[in-house]
Chains A and B, each alone.
Chain A
Amino acid sequence: MAILIGGDTRLVVQGITGREGTFHTLRNRAYGTNVVAGVTPGKSGQDVEGIPVFDTVEEAAGATGANAGLIFVPARFAADAIYEAADAGLGLVVCITENIPVKDMAVAVAYLHGSGTTLVGPNCPGLISPGKANVGIIPGEICSPGAVGLISRSGTLTYQIVNELTQRGIGQSTCVGMGGDPVHGIGFVEALERFEADPQTEAVVVIGEIGGSDEERAAAFIRDHVSKPVVAYVAGFSAPPGKRMGHAGAIITGSSGTAQAKADAFEEAGVRVGRNPAEVAELMRETLRG
């Protein structure tokens, strides 16, 4: 099983002919992902090492049966790329692009509500179901197939923790990098819902960091709805308090968004919290043995 992507994923890459797009498309294909098409406006009829390129996602999906999209287009065109993927009926869209204006994402995320399209990202490393499919830029070499699901706001920190797991012989069902933008697609709660329902997943690692209140909401969701064991990590205990302009953010969250507040929320929900990446993997090993 795994979540969101697997052996049945048929991927179309938007922005396939760009430098990053080509590089990561070929890496994803080399990993075993079924990359069926690419899209670059005006380059229809060309191919990237045998992957056919189309003008629109609609045409790509119609011709190849693509069911998932991966976006590498520049920030100012990225929101449109998300709309295009959703309108073409793709069930999953993974947006790697960073620096997309918040206003564009607020409207895009609102548009996707109830559309049947799940968004991962933006500003994220993508996701991987080890041994099955890799969609994005997570290095497949550090992952191994197994029973631990992982959801994270971070990039390289995710790799670090996945690597610690793999080195201890703990494989992963799916690793999801949800990205660090304030307005984003899939979050901790939506991923936890899917991991809870996924037969391959036996336990979950949640990797959070300072800012916002995603971790606090994840903790409440785990307490009420997740039966599988969860181990958490929060980065940023010694991060400097950001220079704050207004008070509105603190009024909304009712907390300062500190690492300590987030770790406390997890522990109150019965989630064990590792103090560093190695300890997260150790706690997971104990959990799986238990």
Chain B
Amino acid sequence: MDLYEHQGKELFAKHGIALAESAVARTPEEARRAAERMGGRVAVKVQVQTGGRGKGGGIVLTKEPQEAFDAAERLLHQGFNGTPVTRVLVEKLVDIRGEFYCAITLDRSAGTYLAMVSNEGGVDIEEISRTSPEAIRRANVHPVIGMKGYAVRYLAGHLPADAKAGAAGLLPKLYEVLTAEDATLVEVNPLALLTDGTVIPLDAKVTIDDNALYRHPELAALRSEFPVDPTQARANEQGLQYVKLDGEVGIIGNGAGLVMSTLDVVSQAGGKPANFLDVGGGASADSMATSLEVVLSDPQVRSVLVNIFGGITRGELVAQGILEALKRVDPKVKIVVRLDGTNAEEGREILERAAHPTLVPAATMLEAAAKAVELANAGEGA
């Protein structure tokens, strides 16, 4: 779960990290009043779950409260990169002497955490990592011993002399946020050295491990604050993984790897997948019916490809599940079904005998993909 900047900063504050004065505003008027309190010179920052705010016009620097009102009004009304915006963060402008970068995240290849500090900060940190990798110091943090003093000294050791102490004080607190809150990412860009000598995070990107939310009820409660697409919500309720894409071939499969593979095969056959839908292990009649409803709710879909590998769930049960689902959903497009695995033949026979007008059987993944793409293209001409 990706937190908004202000939520991340609230976690920072909870763990004793000093921050610039700020306030959340949900209306332009609230933004104006907050700016007034802070003396007019503020940053109005859009609160979204993605990056690229600086480049995308999501951060507006103002000189007086009315400008904060206008900026908030525009951001709240227009949204940001297609995402609805429910709030902005109004933050008092500070006098900056230097900008750096730091992050602590999971290092998959080492199976431990990795802390990084760059003595160059600002927007394009990935570019910095390519062009001047020596700017970034890295240290693995072993989860059993935590972030030790020597690691902190190394990580902050290449910062300007007047920023070292401040950064060194901050790093263990960021690590505390990571472990105490079950985050998988804590990123600060920029980390700022102010003219008064303090070092503070001007941004906060925090990702919480969804699997650990059960032990953080206060974080789990934040879920309802993020915008959710209704189709997505419906799929999630049923335990389905659904991602909308922009093609015409609807795709349903069981298991994330197999569904990804199905998307690839459809693309190779010259089609464009309309979605990713993982129905999960079982593929019961219930989950299959919901899957079809979800996929067919996308008006762009011109054919559907159901690709199920019967493992423990036997082929005949999957076939019955599909037929049962078709009693509840009345699709206007053809559905190509490809069953494989345990008792696949029995399953295919059941589908053949049913001779449902919208079902098109296929024997292999490649044949199924070719048929689904052909049907999608034919549908386009009609």
Interface residues of A (CB under 8 A from B): 27, 75-76, 99-107, 109-111, 137-139, 141-142, 152-160, 163, 180, 182-184, 207, 209-210, 212-214, 217, 233, 235-240, 243-254, 259, 275-278
Given known contacts A106-B113, A210-B260, A246 and B49 CB-to-CB distance under 8 angstroms? no
Task: List residues 339-372 of chain B with CB under 8 A from any CB of chain A.
Answer: 340-342, 364-366
Assembled-state Cα–Cα distance A249/B312 (Å): 36
Q: Whole-angstrom distance from the CB of A158 to the nearest CB of chain B?
A: 7
Residues of B within 8 A of A277 (CB): 261, 365
Interface residues of B (CB under 8 A from A): 2, 49-51, 103-109, 111-114, 116, 125-126, 129, 136, 142-144, 179, 182, 184-185, 187, 189, 205, 207, 209, 211-212, 214-215, 243, 245, 253-258, 260-261, 263-268, 273, 276, 281, 309, 311-312, 340-342, 364-366
Whether the Cβ atoms of A102 and B257 lie closer than 8 Å is no
Assembled-state Cα–Cα distance A75/B212 (Å): 10
Whether the Cβ atoms of A160 and B108 lie closer than 8 Å is no
Q: What residue of chain B has the Cβ atom nearest to residue A259's Cβ?
A: B264
A-B contact pairs, 27 of them (CB 8 A): A100-B211, A101-B182, A101-B209, A103-B209, A106-B112, A110-B142, A154-B257, A154-B258, A155-B257, A156-B309, A160-B261, A182-B108, A183-B108, A212-B109, A213-B108, A236-B260, A236-B263, A245-B49, A245-B50, A245-B51, A246-B51, A246-B103, A246-B185, A247-B103, A251-B136, A276-B268, A277-B365
Whether the Cβ atoms of B341 and A276 lie closer than 8 Å is no
Assembled-state Cα–Cα distance A235/B264 (Å): 7
Whether the Cβ atoms of A107 and B144 lie closer than 8 Å is yes
Q: Whole-angstrom distance from the CB of A143 to the nearest CB of chain B?
A: 11
Q: What residue of chain A has the Cβ atom nearest to residue B309's Cβ?
A: A156
Cβ contact of A252, chosen from B107, B215, B254, B341, cutoff 8 A: B107
Q: What residue of chain B has the Cβ atom nearest to residue A256's Cβ?
A: B126
Cβ contact of B103, chosen from A160, A180, A233, A248, cutoff 8 A: A248
19 new A-B contacts, CB < 8 A, other than A160-B341, A160-B365, are A27-B312, A102-B212, A154-B258, A157-B261, A160-B261, A180-B257, A207-B257, A209-B256, A209-B260, A235-B264, A238-B263, A238-B264, A239-B260, A239-B263, A245-B2, A251-B126, A252-B108, A259-B264, A277-B365
